[in-house]
Structures are given as C-alpha cells and as structure tokens.
Structure 1
Amino acid sequence: MKTATSQIRPAAMLGLMACLTFAAGTLPLTSAAQDSTRTIATGSNIPLSTNAPDEYMVKPGDTLWDISRLYLRDPWYWPEIWYLNPQVANPHLIYPGDVLKLIYIDGQPRLTVAERGGGSKRLSPQVRREPLSRAVTSIPYDIIAGFAGRPVLLDKEQVDKAPYVVALRDEHMIGSAGNEIYVQGIPDAAVDSRYSIVHVDGKLRDPETRDLLGYTGIYVGGGPVARAGEPAKLLLTQSVREALQGDKLFPESTDVKDDFVPHAPSSDVNATVIAVREATVMGQYQIVALNRGSQAGLEPGHILAVSERGKVVRDKYKRGGLGADNISVMGGGSKVQLPDERIGLVMVFNTTPRMSYALVMEAQKEIREGDSAANP
C-alpha cells in the first residue's frame, strides 16, 4: 500500500494547501465570510460561490473539484484562493474529516485547513503517514483508472507499441472465456499478472488535417498470465466478445497520474472532440478524446469549455415583414451562422503530443463528436 511520507504529491499542494495553524503562530479566522463582496481581492474579480460556507468538513468521496465548486463559481480558479503557509515545508494531503475554513488575510479570502480529522487538533509542520487511497483526489480516481485498465480510446503510438495476440491454442480462430492465448510483447510479465484485451476498431483523424491520431477500441476481455516468456501464455477468464489474432493487450492495473490541480490553460486552445467513450453522446464523468495534446500546450488539469457548434441557417425574412409574400422561395435567403453555445466543462487528465483525454465535469447538454473545446 502506498503511503504519503516526506514526498507529498502536488494534488494537495494546492490540495487545499495546508494553510495550517501551527505552534509558531496561528492564522486569525474570521467568524463569517464577507457577504458584502464575495469576490477575491486579487484584481481578477473572481467571484466566490453565492453559497460558499465559512466552514466545511471534507467527506468521503469528495474531490478537489467538488470542494472548489463549493467555494468558487468557476472551480478552475482555485489556485487563486488556496493559500500555502510558507512555514510548512511539505503541505499535507487533504483527508475526509478535515475541516476547512474560509478566512480573510489582508482583506483577501483564503481557504485553510483549520482542523485535522474533524477534531480540534492543533496543526504543526510534520510528516503525516496515511494510505494515499484515503486522500482527496482532483477527480474520481476509479473512473480514470478504469479507463486506463480498459482503454477504448487509443493514440496511434500506444497501439503501435502494445503487445498483441499472436495465436490461440489448439489452432482456434477465435477465443472466449476458458481459452488460452499466446501473446507477443510481454516477455517480462509476471505469472498471474492480469491484462485486458482490446480490439482496435475505427480510426481517429484530426478533422482539420485528416492526420491519423489514434483509434477507437472495443473491450474484449481479460485474464492472467499463465506462463511467462516470448510468447507468453494468457488464460482468458472473462470475455464479452471474441478474441482475435492481432488484438492488443494492456495491463489491467496501472499507475494513474491524479496529482494535478484544475486550472485554465495559459495560452489559447482551440480543440475539437474527436471521439467519445462507448457512446455517441456524453454526460458527466464520461471521457472524450480531443485533437490537441501537449504540442498545443495542453497538460493534465487543464479545464476547457465545450461548445456546441452553431449551425448555418437560411434567413428568409431579411426584407422584413411577416406575410407570406415576404418569405423567399424554398431554399432561398442568405446564410446566417448561429453562434456556438457553451454546454459543458471538461478536465484534461492525460495527454500525448497530438491528442488528449478529458473527463466531462459538467454538462448541460449531450457532448458529441464535433463539439469545440476552448479556454473557459
């Protein structure tokens, strides 16, 4: 089990940053938030949430996004409100039971960890050893971990390098649960380590350049390595469709980066949703692929606003009037481009040079392929 020792992950760096009350000096806490001006006095005029509480106890299942949404109208601005106490060398992670308080320092609102574990324990700079699984993460960990273990949106390099099914035992043409398969590309895999099998399906192309960026995938099944080597032998213990020669393998369990904090890109980003996971429309906590990656400046934690592209319509009433005589003939009239309409927010959690994956955080309408994604 991983533990947080002297090296603390940056997630909680801003991680509601331990604006800690410690023995050398206690930060003054106001008894109530300043309702008259619920904005951050940093010159950016970023509004606090109208219902921002003066005190909040972190609950199991909370994410940093949830907590930031509680305090800020626009959660990606949370670095503006989290305050790092410079006298604490290693800011602590945030845990369920911790009490957060909204305070004012030099007239500016700041969020601080006032109590640890729901008690009145006085905080001091020290190393806290806790299982990382208990710490609050930026976004739901199980969702992105599940996506990593069963990837169905794949970048081109990932597919090119992935191990693959080279044959099925007893000359079977297709495999299902209970069959043994032979795999090339995992010579050092430990016996009993588990892999997912994914069938590579459609191509993902950049809608602007038509360059091949990646592929969609279909989850086939999975199972443990029965014998190491090259080829290795894997026992297919679960299947939802037939396994075929050439299908790709990915580890079921993998380390997933979740130590980022939501923030807006520092430069302009104009991307397009090029794929959605397992469906034609998306809702909250679904995953999308974008046609922009690290080469365009995207990085994990970036927040993008998704907009439905405005349609082009015919203006049949340009000359005015409402009578039938003023309506142009069928198909006539000048073209009018309707404006794009914002319909949601996504948070980037993984990037490749030319493509990135993002989690839908908010959606007022279904997010679809072809929608645009840009700075919020």
Structure 2
Amino acid sequence: MLRKSALVIFITLFSSLAFFNFCSADTSGKTTTAKDFDPNEDTGFFYTIQKGDTLWDLSQRFYSSEWDWPGLWEMNQEIKNPHWIYPGKVIRVYLKDPTKKIKPPEPKQEMEPIIVQPPFIPKFAYPMIDMVGFIRPQTIESLGRIIKEEDSNLMIGTDDLIFIRPASEGSLAEGTIYHVFETEPVQDMETGFSGIKHLIKGSIEIIEDKGTYVKAVVKKTIREFREGDRIMPYFDREPVFEVVKNPQTIDAVMLCSEDNHLMINNGFIAFMDRGRRSNIEQGHIYTVYQDNLPLQSSNTDIFNNHKEVALEPLIAGQVIVLHTEEDSSTIMVVSSRYDIQAGDMIN
C-alpha cells in the first residue's frame, strides 16, 4: 500500500510554483523571532545558511532544480519572507525522491562562464541516537542486573530508585551513567546472517555503592524496565552528522526493526546486514528495493503457457545510517513509498 504519511522532515509533493524573485541572504545581522530547527531537540535533515545563500540557489545545488525552492520554504514556515534568509539560520531540508527524473537543461548557443559552487552538504540530527540498539556477533558482557525498584513498583520510570546486583566488585562506579538493555537473537535464513540484537531500554546513574548491591536513579526510559534487565556501558554518540547521499553499492538486506514490526515505515529504527567491513559509515543514505512481482494473469501467454517475467525492483524508500558495527548497521527509515519489510534489498 502506498504510504501517504511522512516524517516532518520531509514533504511528499510540492506545487510547481514558478517565482522569478531571488531569495537573497540578509547580512545586516537581523534575527528572526520564529523558532529555528534545533538539532538538540528535533530530528531531521538540516542546513545552516551561509552568507550569499538564496533558497533558489540551495534548491539548484541540492536538488538540481531551482523550482524545488518553494518546497524548502513550505518546510520552514517560520521564514515569513522567502526573499530574506539570514546567515546562521538553521533550516530543514528534505531528500529528493529517487524516482523523480530531472529534465536536462536545454543546450545553450553561447558559452557561459562556469561558476563552481561550494558543496551543499546537509546534516542530520537525531537527539535520541544514544538510545538506538545494535547487532553484534555475541552478547556484550553485562556489568550487572536490576534487582527491583526501591518501593517494589512493577512500573519503573524516570527518577525512580532501583537496586542493582553488580556482575563483579567495582563493575559499577558511583556517579557513572550506564545503559539498561536486553537481547534477542537475529537470523536471516536466506543470507545466513546471525547475531545478537542489543535493545537499549534507557539509562541509569549509580548514586551509591552498598557492597553487594548498588543504588541507582533512572535517568531515562524508552522501554519498560524489568527485574533481571542487564547493565552495560553508556555509549555516547554524536547526534548531529553529515549526510552522504551517494555511497557505493552494498547489496544489503533489511534484517528487522528494533521492535520487530512487520511493516517498517517512516521514523522506524531497523538493522541491515552490512557494516564497517563494507565501508559503511554514519550518515550514508541508501535506497530500499522490493521485488516487483507481476500479476498472476500476466504470467501466461495466449496459449496459457506459464512464463517468467523479470521486472525491475520497486523503490520502496530510503534509509540513513545511524550507527555501524563490523558486519551490521543501525538505520532509520527516512522515507517510504511502500511498506518496508524484513528481507527487502538495500543499495
């Protein structure tokens, strides 16, 4: 089913409005009162306006078409007048639909000077990146296990106090923040991939060492804590990073989502079976493909003989790499035209 929903960081269709006024950057130092995109709070692609930038020029440099600039303005409604954008302002940007064809420019009779534009490199912000899981060949060593919540409450939330049994003496240090996690096996029968999914449930801070147990305060929960949940070091990751749109071919497979959704759509965190060994890095953008199966009636000729018809794959969406391991990567779906599923191809 064609998906009509999308992250706030994207717009699916833009009207083909043709405005001939240029949107020049004001260098007077005036600031806008509207709230800018905040990489510490907001998720999405963004770009910081430089002196001399215009929405027209940015549209040409990023989307190879000046006429996509109304889409940029639509995404950044705090810009009251598109003719004036200010250096230092952070604006939201979107990924171009990989299925959209760009009309080549008409050949010109006269030679024009070639103007080399500086590279337009957007960035991606994901403030919750410290909480994304990962897949490794073996389970990471546990530093301890949750015994119970201080008041024996079944539901454990932010600021609650909990007791933890350390794996060994000194394995959990006072004043240190740790991740709480659980694991489950991941296996793909077709590719032979196997590993252990580490699902991060939140973070805690050790406040007191009692010898045989430690006392901790819950800093953040994104999934329910339970008795027996394990403790591992806190992985501090950079929430803002540059985007690489055209990395090399990888021939990867979508393994699963963090929470094993059957349909993996916009904003979902998932995993693929390629990582650093395949030169994959944080910020790489890849396209998700699905088999394009012909209708049953098209598989026979006029004599009712069965025949195979190979169709080119469907483009189902795009993903961005958030974290890499040696042979796997954690990814986020940033656009989806169809419901993405485990087993879909990524390239």
Residues 1:251 and 1:243: Cα distance change in structure 2 (over 3 Å)? same
Give the aligned partner of residue 227 of structure 1: 208
Residues 1:34 and 1:356: Cα distance change in structure 2 (over 3 Å)? closer
TM-aligned CA deviation for residue 191 of structure 1: 2.8
Alignment check: 8 A CA contact 2:282 2:321 kept: yes
- Structure 2 residue matching 1:225: 3-state secondary structure: strand
TM-aligned CA deviation for residue 252 of structure 1: 6.1
Larger relative contact order, structure 1 or 2 (CA cutoff 8 Å, min sep 6): 2
Alignment check: 8 A CA contact 1:310 1:338 kept: yes
Match of 2:117 among 85, 95, 110: 110
Give the aligned partner of residue 51 of structure 1: 68
Alignment check: 8 A CA contact 1:273 1:289 kept: yes
Distance 1:297 1:62 in 2: 30
What are the ranges of 5 or more consecutive residues in structure 2 without an aligned counterpart? 1-45, 71-82, 99-111
Alignment check: 8 A CA contact 1:195 1:223 kept: yes
Give the aligned partner of residue 284 of structure 2: 302
Match of 1:203 among 174, 185, 207: 185
Distance 1:296 1:181 in 2: 39
Give the aligned partner of residue 359 of structure 1: 332
Match of 2:165 among 147, 161, 182: 182
Alignment check: 8 A CA contact 2:267 2:334 kept: yes
Residues 1:138 and 1:248: Cα distance change in structure 2 (over 3 Å)? farther
Distance 1:30 1:60 in 2: 12
Match of 2:134 among 151, 154, 158: 154
Residues 1:371 and 1:335: Cα distance change in structure 2 (over 3 Å)? same
Match of 1:272 among 245, 253, 260: 253
Residues 1:309 and 1:112: Cα distance change in structure 2 (over 3 Å)? closer
Distance 1:31 1:199 in 2: 46
Alignment check: 8 A CA contact 1:312 1:335 kept: no
Distance 1:298 1:212 in 2: 19
Amino acid at match of 2:334: M
TM-aligned CA deviation for residue 18 of structure 1: 8.9
- Structure 1 residue matching 2:124: 3-state secondary structure: coil
Amino-acid identity (%): 13
TM-aligned CA deviation for residue 336 of structure 1: 4.0
Cα RMSD of the aligned pairs, angstroms, is 4.6
TM-aligned CA deviation for residue 349 of structure 1: 2.3
Residues 1:207 and 1:292: Cα distance change in structure 2 (over 3 Å)? farther
Alignment check: 8 A CA contact 1:270 1:373 kept: yes
- Structure 2 residue matching 1:197: 3-state secondary structure: strand
Distance 1:216 1:32 in 2: 44
Distance 2:170 2:48 in 1: 43
TM-aligned CA deviation for residue 188 of structure 1: 6.5
TM-aligned CA deviation for residue 30 of structure 1: 9.7
Match of 2:275 among 293, 297, 311: 293
CA shift digits 1:101-150 (9 cap, x unpaired): xxxx943363699xxxxxxxxxxxxxxxxxxxxxx9821231xxx242x3
What are the ranges of 5 or more consecutive residues in structure 1 without an aligned counterpart? 1-14, 22-28, 41-45, 75-104, 114-135, 321-325
Alignment of 1:306-317 (within 5 A): 306-311=288-293, 314=296
Amino acid at match of 2:134: L
Residues 1:32 and 1:356: Cα distance change in structure 2 (over 3 Å)? closer
TM-score of the aligned structures, taking structure 1 as reference length: 0.55
- Structure 2 residue matching 1:51: 3-state secondary structure: helix
Alignment check: 8 A CA contact 1:184 1:232 kept: no
Give the aligned partner of residue 243 of structure 1: 226
Alignment of 1:1-376 (within 5 A): 47-52=64-69, 56-57=85-86, 62-63=91-92, 66=93, 69=95, 106-108=113-115, 110=117, 138-142=123-127, 146-148=128-130, 150-151=131-132, 153-156=133-136, 159-165=139-145, 178-184=161-167, 187=170, 190-200=173-183, 202-215=184-197, 217=199, 219=201, 222-228=203-209, 233-235=214-216, 237=218, 241=224, 243-245=226-228, 247-250=229-232, 254-256=236-238, 258-266=240-248, 268-278=249-259, 279-311=261-293, 314=296, 318-320=300-302, 333-374=306-347
TM-score of the aligned structures, taking structure 2 as reference length: 0.59
CA shift digits 1:190-212 (9 cap, x unpaired): 53444342221x31224444232
Distance 1:208 1:157 in 2: 18
Amino acid at match of 2:326: P
**How many residues are matched?**
269
TM-aligned CA deviation for residue 163 of structure 1: 2.6
TM-aligned CA deviation for residue 234 of structure 1: 3.6
Distance 1:186 1:138 in 2: 43
